[in-house]
Structure 1
Amino acid sequence: MPKAWPEGSGGRRLRWMGPAAIVLTLLGCGQGPGTAPVSGVVQFDGVPVTQGTVSFYPVAGGRPATGKLGPGGAFELSTFGNGDGALLGGHKVTISAMELINAPPPPKSLSEEISQSAPPPKAGPKARWIVPEKYSAQATSGLTATVVGGTNLIEFDLP
Structure 2
Amino acid sequence: MDKYPKSEEPTETVGGSEGQACAALAHEFSNLESIVQDFQPVVNQRKSRVPADVAGRIMFMAHDFLTEQPVRNADVYLLRQILHNWSDKYYIRILRHLVTALKTAAKIVVNDNVSTDLTMKVLQNPHERGLDDWKNLFKTADPRFSFQEAKQPAGSTLWIMTVQWEGQ
Q: TM-score, normalised by structure 1?
A: 0.23
Bigger radius of gyration among the two: 1
Higher strand content, 1 or 2? 1
Higher relative contact order (CA 8 A, sep 6+): 1
- TM-score w.r.t. structure 2 length? 0.23
